[in-house]
Structure formats: structure tokens, C-alpha cells
Amino acid sequence: MNGTFLQPRRVLSVRRVALLTTAIAGLGAAALVLAPNTPIHPFTGTAQAQNLTERVQQLPQRPVGFADIVEKVKPSVISVRVKIDRPANSGLSNDDNDLPFPPGSPFERFFKRFGIPNPPNMPQGNEVITGQGSGFFISSDGYAVTNNHVVQNAEKVQVTTDDGKAYTAKVIGTDPKTDLALIKIDGKDFPFVKLADTPPRVGDWVLAVGNPFGLGGTVTAGIVSARGRDIGAGPYDDFIQIDAPVNKGNSGGPTFDVDGNVIGVNTAIFSPSGGSVGIAFAIPAETVKTVVAQLRDKGTVTRGWIGVQIQTMTPEIADSMGLKQASGALVSEPQKNSPAAAAGIKSGDVITSVDGAPIHDARELARKIGTMAPGTTVKLGLIHDGQEKTLSLTLGTLPNEKQASNEPSQREVPDNDVPKLGLTLAPADKTGSAQTGVVVTAVADGGIAADHGFQVGDVILDVGGKPVSTPADVKKSLADAKSAGKRTVLFRVKSGDGTKFVALPLGNA
């Protein structure tokens, strides 16, 4: 309810990093970077000492603390409490209950004083779950931003302002794809803050204000650690990474720059324990502006749609297609009756630009098109059959997501092996899996195909740009590619409801 938590593949030495960061921060404005082997002279009135003094004086002045900024922005931040009525055995989880201390401990009693709900493993009947998050006003008439996962499925939303007043809020609209929500409190003259007009730079100071563990009005400081992070939360991931401590209950709260503008909305942390380890993620203000404007206007978000299944180019795929650079969004398949199909975009095309702006990967294309309104006419630069071309199309409206199924057929069929790749194949039209192509009936552990993500039930449609319908077709295409001196061969594969390209090294195949 109050945060998305990501489990790392490995745990780093946090203590050492924290101590190093503290030491560096403690140097403040007087920190100097000296060239290797530069002697340090005492302040004896020498020319070297005078030069050092001048260099210190030329460093930009930084605030001693953040009290003035906090005093300015903190009244705009709110605590968001929600109630969800559910059966005791519903199996639904509540992040607030995953507390980092055992039931019955002094810490449990302490945090319950601040509104944390019942701890885990306690007997419960029909229950009303209380969750907590954060938010902030963006207008004086009571519009406020928070996370979708904070208010999702809520029957009642209560807001507490910095001065302790409580209000009932109405959910105006939500956008699960970006995890944003807009709520409204009746009233006027609420203190509000502005969304930043320019993105932050890596290394800029930031302040996070929110309601961690129910402790309202908590302020933490740090820097922007990175930008453009993809954490697998959704198709439009473009998070700002910060190291200001963020914990459960900070979700939906703002991250400020030193001018008091909101540069992002806190939404997730990277943590092995559920507590802050100095890696948190915020939705950029640019995204917030676009989404909130639509939610305020019509309560929902509509996005532009080309109608293609895409994937990011890899060096192996680029090499198999004879391309010099692994850049752009590779079209796995245009969808039927889509703007892409109408414009003549084909499977294997590589989209390289939108309205003249370069596209580096599939994620960038999805984000860029998703920010455009349906009905917008765009110019797409692409590589078609090895040639560069430009075409125009009018964006459609992104339809509701389809439920994908990846269950292979269970019918018994004769097998045919491609041992060098670790695949066992059969004609798709004889398995009931598909009308065309060759279905994968077995994948050898540790084989080339397994290493590249092939699964039982996948349907191979093309090999080396040629349609295949039997295992013999696959073998012939592999042999032709090898005879042509190619190091990799490109497979077009249907997996579930999606289609993708996979470049397999030929080796001894």
C-alpha cells in the first residue's frame, strides 16, 4: 500500500558507502580536488597559499542547511490514509503490515501510536485495512498528487495537513501505468507547490518530505543519484534515482530541489529489508504534469498508439540484419488494423526517430509516443529492407491491455531435433498451437536456445528472413545462413500473444 519494494540480486556493503558519503559531505564548500602529487603548502603567506585562498573564495556558496526551504514547502505536504474493507482470508497483502520488528515488541507499540495498523500474524476477522502514504497540494483549491498504489481500491481517503487538520478526499482519477493519482479536498487557500519546469542534474541536492511509518512531516536530504532508471514497474519507466532516505509511507510524497520545486513523486525503494538503503525512485515532474493534466480534465489518461510490438536492438540482432549500430526500436510485428499497419510498417523494420528526434531503444519509443495525444500526426524515421525512409501516420488511442497466455499445447506430436541449438521442433499446424510456423516442443537445458530465452510453446515464424513451416525449413535456413558466412541468424518468434526477434549465434549449428 505504501511503497513498491525491489529485492536486489546482491547486497552491497552499505556501511562503507554511507561513511564515505558522510565524510565527503562534511567537507562542505571548502572541499578541494588536487591534482596527483600536488604538494600541500602551509598558509605562510606564500604565493601558493594565496592562490589556494582565492580558489576557495571562488567556489559557489551553498546553504548551511535546508531550514528555509523546508519552512517554505513543508505545509504543502499531506498525509494520506485509506481504508479498504476486505474479507480476513482474501489473501490480499498490505504493505503497512510488513513491519521491520516482531509483534509485541516495544517498537510495535511505539509505531502503533502513530497510526500503523495491526501487525502481521494477529487473529483477524472481517477487517478494515488502513494504509498510509503521502501527497502534496498542487493548487490552492485542494487538488493533490499521490501514488495510485496508495489510493487503489480505497473506500475512504482521509488527508491530514501539516497543521493537523483532517479532511475527506475524493479520488479524481488514477493512472496505474505511471502509478499516479489525483485527489481533491474541498476547501480553499491550501498551501501548494509547483512542479519543476526543468529536469534535475545528477548530483543536485534534493529534499524528500513525507509520512514514513506514519511519522508525518518527515524531511530527509540527499542528491540525485541517476536519471532514466528502468526498474520494470511499467512500460513508461523513467525514474529519477535519489539517495535521500525514503521508507514505507513516503509513497506519493514529493522530492524538492533547492528552489522548492517538485522534481519528482516518490514511488519505490530498492531494499533487502523494506527499509531505506539509500536507493529510492521518483516519477519525474515532466511525467507528473502530463498525467495530472489529463486526470484533472477528464479523470482518465489516454495515450497515443502506433500499434506495433517492439523490442530493443542488440548487437547480435543488428549484426544479423547487416546494420552497423544497435540502435532504435525493432518492430517484431505490426498489429492488425493499427496505424502502423495502415502506414505500411512491416515486421523487421527499425524505428529510428520520431519527428526528427532520435530513438535509441524500444523503451524510449514507448515513452515518447505515450506522451502524445491520440490523433496527433507524427513522422517516423525507420530502416526498411536495409534502406532509410520516413513516413507519416496518425496516432490511434492505446487500447486496453490484453491478457496474454503462454501455455503450450499438450497434444502429442512427432518431434524433430535441432541439436546444435538445443531445440526440438514440430510443425505448428499439426499441434494446434498456430496455423503457421514451427512450434518448440522441447528446449535443452544449457543449450544456445535456452540461453536466449526460448521456451516450450514458442512458435518460430521466420529464420533468416524466410518463413518456416517445418523443422526441415529451419535447418535449411540455418545452413543457408552459415554458407553465406553469417555469424548469427535472426529468428522471429511468437511467444504467448507477443512476437519478438531473437539472434542466435550459428557456431556449429
Q: Is 205 helix (H, G, I), strand (E, B) or coil?
A: strand
Contact 66, 207 (CB under 8 A): yes
Q: Which of 95, 179, 237, 243 does the annotation list as catalytic?
A: 179
Would you list the DSSP string of 72-121? HHGGGEEEEEEEEEE-TTS----GGG--SS-TTSHHHHHHHTTT--PPTT
The closest alpha carbon to 134, from 214, 188, 221, 237, belongs to: 214
The region, left, alpha or beta by phi > 0 then psi within -120 to 50, assigned to residue 487 is alpha
Cell numbers given for 397: 488511442
How far is residue 341's CA from residue 335's CA, in Å, rounded to a whole number? 7
Cβ 224 vs Cβ 212: under 8 Å: no
Per the annotation, the verdict on 93 as an active-site residue is: no
Residue 384 designated active-site: no
Grid cell for residue 494: 511468437
Number of H-type helices and E-type strands within the chain: 11, 28
Q: Which three cell numbers stand for residue 454?
A: 526460448
What are the DSSP E strand ranges found in 243-376? 254-256, 262-270, 280-284, 304-305, 308-312, 329-334, 350-354, 357-358
- Active-site residue, 251 included: yes
Residues in the chain: 509
Annotated catalytic residue within 76, 79, 225, 251: 251
With vertex at residue 376, the alpha carbon angle to CA 375 and CA 382, rounded to the nearest 5 degrees, is 120
Is residue 222 within a helix (H) or strand (E), and if so which, with residue range? Answer: strand 218-229
Phi, psi of 383 (to 5 degrees): -105, 120
For the range 86-90, what are the long-range contacts, defined as Cβ-Cβ under 8 Å and sequence gap of 24 or more? 86/127, 86/128, 86/129, 87/126, 87/127, 88/124, 88/125, 88/126, 88/127
Strand partners, 270: 6
**Catalytic position from the list 149, 175, 225, 271:** 149
Q: Which residues are catalytic?
A: 149, 179, 251
